[in-house]
Structures are given as C-alpha cells and as structure tokens.
Structure 1
Amino acid sequence: MKDTSLDFYDGLADTYHLIFKNWYEAVQWQGAFFDKFIRSLYAEEQEGPIHLLDASCGIGTQALGLAQHDYTVTATDISSNSVERAKREADKLGVHVHFGVADFRTLDKDVPGQFNVVLSADNAVPHLLDDQELSVACRNFYEKLVDKGLLIISIRDYDEILQNRQRATLPRVMDEGKRIVFQVWDWAEAGHHYITNQFIVQEIDGSWKTQVNSTSYRALLRSELSTKLEEAGFADIRWHMPSESGFYQPIVTARKL
C-alpha cells in the first residue's frame, strides 16, 4: 500500500483544526494531560525543564500545549505545510518551540541531539506500513533518547478495531450544524491495512463544501508494536489504556535503559 501520509497532512494543514470542536481548547487540554502523564513517569527531571521531541507534531496540538508547561520542545513532522502552520500558531500563542521537518525513518539524521522524552501522539506511527519501516523508526526513537529517557506513543485501539474491521467513524456535528466531520475506512482485502478518508463538510455562505483527504494506515496491534520496541532495545514497555489514563487512545511507554 502506498505511503500517502505526506500528501494527506500537507493537504490538511490549513483545515486540520476543523476536526476538533475547538482546537485551541484541545491544545490546552493535551498540554495539561501530557504534562501530568510525563511527570508521573519521569521524576528524574521534575525540578527543571524536560527536553522533549514531538516527532509527529502536525500543526502543534501536543507540542504547543507542552511548551506552556516548562518543557523545552523540539517539534518535527514529515509535512512541511503542517510545520509552517504550527510555527504560526506558536507565534499566536506566544510560546517558543524549535521546529523542523523530519521523517520517523530518518529521524537519526534529520534531528540533532538527544532528549529526555520522545513523543508521537494521535496514531502517527501506524503510517509506517511494514515491519522494516517500523523497526527503523523504533531504532531512531531509541537513538534520540538520553539514557533513562522515556518514549510515549499513542495509537488507535486496533486490537478492538480488527474484531469487526470498523468501516467509519460516527459523524460529529459542530458549529450549530454547519460543520460535520467523519471518516470512512476502506480495508484492503488481505492484511491489516486500510485507507482513511477524512471528510470535513461545511456550510459556507449558504453553500455546502466538502473536503476529503485520504491516507494509508496499518492496523498495528499492541503486541506488534511492543515487539518492535523491545527489538530496538527498549525496556519497561507498558500499555496505558484509556480507562486508566483518561486519554482517548491507548498509550505505550518505554524506557531507554
């Protein structure tokens, strides 16, 4: 299946915020959530700034929020359009973030230095469609961490999704009915791959406009990701489910020891 993530995020850069009821509130909530989550697991750096790499920053949903909580944040993404949007949003919010364009698969070359925490939230890692790409990315996450550093990844609950191969998400109706957001998933006949078609439907000046952006994912099982992290050298691999963490996706954490 073709890697379509770059076109997908470049095409969504100007409208990605419309997926959220209120994107700026989401930035605040995610910053507060991950600040509390990280500090509960990374006590070594409690007294000073934590140097964090958001390796799939998009337009800044996590990076901008964490920059408001005494983190030194470097934020990268494969999409240069998304990074440029994130820079503009950082200026609006008055936060300082080091931005760059980088790919999971070449993170070791694209991003200098090492970090206390490497973060990839909101199902970015399943854009890696085969085991080789996933292994390379996991090794690069490992290389970007200092000793005792913490890796944090969130993905969809594919263990649950694969039981019935979900075909769509429920439409979310916002702006008093003037904006509808949903996804349609087209599954490959064989294997655990699918295409997400992201629909943003809006009433603008009395006319309805539809934007559709599509990208490929691998339905990545928790055991598969855990195995690749272990092979890359990570230890203390733990899964934090939504019922425990309060986040909307399963989160895996792992340590570089």
Structure 2
Amino acid sequence: MDSTRLFYDQLAADYDRMYADWDASIAHQGRALDALISQELGSGTYDVLDCACGIGTQALGLASLGHRVTGTDLSPVAAARAVREASARGLSLPAAAADMRQLPFRSGSFDVVVCADNALPHLLTEADVRAALRAMRRVLRPGGLLLLSTRPYGQLRRERPESMHPQVMEGPEGRTITFQLWHWHEDGERYDLEHFQLHPDGDTWTTRVRRATYWALTEPETAALAAGAGFATTAWHQPADTGFFQPVLVARVTSHDDN
C-alpha cells in the first residue's frame, strides 16, 4: 500500500481543487449520507467512523450535522489536513493515519462506518478486501451500518474507458483543471490511473501527475464480499435515489464477534 499512501500524501494539498465548490460538495454529500443513516437507523446523531476520510469531504459534512465523527486514512498527510479543516470550521474531527484492514479501535466502537469515494478498490486482492470489510464489521456495534461507495464498475468494466472528463475549479489565481487517464490491465478488472492537475502559473501551467492502481469490483462482487465478511441485508442505492455521487452499498451488522 506504499504507492497508495504516496498518491494521497501528494494529492492532499490539492484534493479540494477537484471540486468546482468543495464546501458545497461537503454539505451535499453530508446530507446525502445522513439521509441514508436516518433511513436505516432512525433520526438522531451517531458515532461514525470514516475509515477513508481523506481531507474530510464526507466526514466534515457528517460532523456539521451533529454526528460524532472519527476519521482515519492511509495517508497521514490527508488525515492531518482533515483535522485542520475541521478546526477551521469549528468542528470536532479527531483523525489519524490507519490502514482500513487493521483499524485501531475496540470492537463495537461505532454505530456507522463510512468507506466512501472509491477507497476500497485500492485493495487489489480478495484477501485484502475481505480483511478490510472484516475490520469494518468488527468495529461496528450490533445493528451497526456500513455505507460504502465505489464507481459503477459493472458498467465501466464493459466500457473500459481510457479517460475521465476534466473537472474545473475556478480559484483566485485562475482555473485548476483535473483529469484522469486509465490504463486497463489484461485481466480486464484492474487499471492504473494517472491523475493530472494543471495549475495556473501566470501565462502558463504547472502540471502535477500522481499514479494509483484500482480493482474494479462490480456491485454484485462487492456485496458478495461484504456478505462473506459477515454483513447482512446488503443493498446498493443509486445516485438517482440518494443524491450521492456514487452508488452506495448499505450493509448491516446483525450480530457481533471478533472474526
């Protein structure tokens, strides 16, 4: 996972530049996830672990709605920025570096675990995905809720795109342009991503390139792995229904053990 940690260490300072309006996205994504939590657990505020918090996009949104959010991320640089962003907004968000396969919390510590924004597919083997899902299940209380979002990989594996549409952020110094190139492996399931950002620099551009690898698990494959890790009542919810920008797997814990 060293390459994944390096990817997000390098991206942490510029991650918000992938959004046209990061603060608006924080609020929108927080509301969408909160609605799913309320739908499953009832209205109220809960103990939430965002186990791939990055610089805080989902965690900040949920914290602003009153949830007691803890963040972890493989990248210590990203987690540190999440803490700073929370402080700047008058929010509490304790966060630290941790591998989602080995979450450093006691069993049954949380009501909700969030693993959003296509974080799980950085794990490239079934053993690693199962280990992460078991760790998420372990730290949930009986009746607890997992919210996990990925790209719509069933469609993407059929289409095998080679790039993603550019994203533009207008800032005080000009426009930042973000785009991706995808290089599919021969297995048709994994791909290497080149993440480009063009930063305005007077009359020219500064280009920053980061690289990562993903496993394009389809929705049925991900649900089956979650069920194998001990989650029950798994179901996918689509963006048209939730308002969240990716499909979200909703899964529940009906009993608790340390497996």
TM-score category by the smaller chain? over 0.9
Cα deviations across residues 56-105 of structure 1 (Å, max 9, x unaligned)?
00000011111111111111101000011111111111100121211111
Instruction: Measure, in 2, the Cα distance between the counterparts of 1:158 and 1:90.
Output: 32
Equivalent in 121, 132, 144 of residue 149 of structure 1: 144
Q: What amino acid does structure 1 have at the position aligned with 2:78?
A: S
Query: Contact conserved, 1:123 with 1:156, CA < 8 A, in 2?
Result: yes
Cα distance in 2 for partners of 1:135, 1:173 equals 36
CA RMSD of aligned residues (A): 1.5
1:111 counterpart = 2:105: yes
- Give the match for residue 89 of structure 2: 93
Given that 1:201 and 1:209 are in contact with CA atoms closer than 8 Å, whether structure 2 keeps it comes out as yes
Note the 1:177-196 alignment, pairs <5 A: 178-196=175-193
Does 2:236 correspond to 1:213? no
Distance 2:79 2:168 in 1: 28
SS at match of 1:229: helix
- Match of 1:70, SS state, is coil
Which of 240, 249, 252 in structure 2 is aligned with 1:252?
249
SS at match of 1:122: coil
Give 5+ residue unaligned stretches, structure 1: none
After superposition, give the CA deviation of every residue in 1:104-157 in whole Å (9 maximum; x if it has no partner).
1111xx234510000011000001101000111111111010000000000000
Q: Distance in 2 between matches of 1:248 and 1:59?
A: 17
What is the CA distance between 1:175 and its match in structure 2? 2.1
Q: Is the 8 A contact 2:130 2:229 kept in 1?
A: yes
Alignment: residue pair count: 251
Secondary structure in 2 matching 1:91: helix
- The Cα shift of 1:4 comes to 2.3
In the alignment, structure 2 segments of 5+ residues that lack a partner are 255-259
Query: How far is 1:209 from its partner?
Result: 0.7
Q: Decide whether the 8 Å contact of 2:17 with 2:169 is kept in 1.
A: no
**1:20–1:26 contact (8 Å) kept in structure 2:** yes
CA distance in 1, matches of 2:203, 2:27: 32
| CA contact 2:19–2:167 (8 Å) conserved in 1 | no
Partner Cα separation in structure 2 for residue 123 and residue 40 of structure 1: 22
Residue 33 of structure 1 and its aligned partner are, at CA, apart by 1.7
Aligned to 2:257: none
Aligned mates of 1:246, 1:33 — CA distance in 2: 6
Instruction: With the length of structure 1 as denominator, give the TM-score of the two structures.
Output: 0.93
Question: Alpha-carbon deviation of 1:191?
Answer: 4.1
| Contact kept in structure 2, 1:17 and 1:23, CA below 8 Å | yes
Equivalent position amino acid for 2:105 in 1: V
- Extract structure 1 runs of 4+ deviating beyond 6 A: none
CA distance in 2, matches of 1:23, 1:250: 20
Is 2:30 aligned against 1:31? yes
* Matching residue of 1:67: 63
- Percent sequence identity is 37
Following the alignment from structure 1 to structure 2, what is the Cα–Cα distance between the partners of residues 69 and 194? 36
- Superposition deviation, residue 205 in structure 1: 2.3
Letter paired with 1:111: F
8 Å contact kept, 1:127–1:217? yes
Q: Check conservation: 1:3, 1:216, Cα contact below 8 A.
A: no
2:50 match: 54
CA deviations 1:165-190 (Å, max 9, x no partner) are 11100112342873211111111122
Contact 2:116 2:150 in 1 (8 A): yes
**More displaced, 199-208 or 156-165?**
199-208
Determine helix, strand or coil for the equivalent of 2:121.
Answer: helix
Give, in whole Å, the separation in 2 of the partners of 1:172 and 1:12: 15
Scaled by the length of structure 2, what TM-score is found? 0.93
Rounded Cα–Cα distance in structure 1 between residues aligned with 2:61 and 2:106:
23
Q: Could you tell me which residue of structure 2 aligns to residue 78 of structure 1?
A: 74
What SS class does the counterpart of residue 94 from structure 1 fall into?
coil
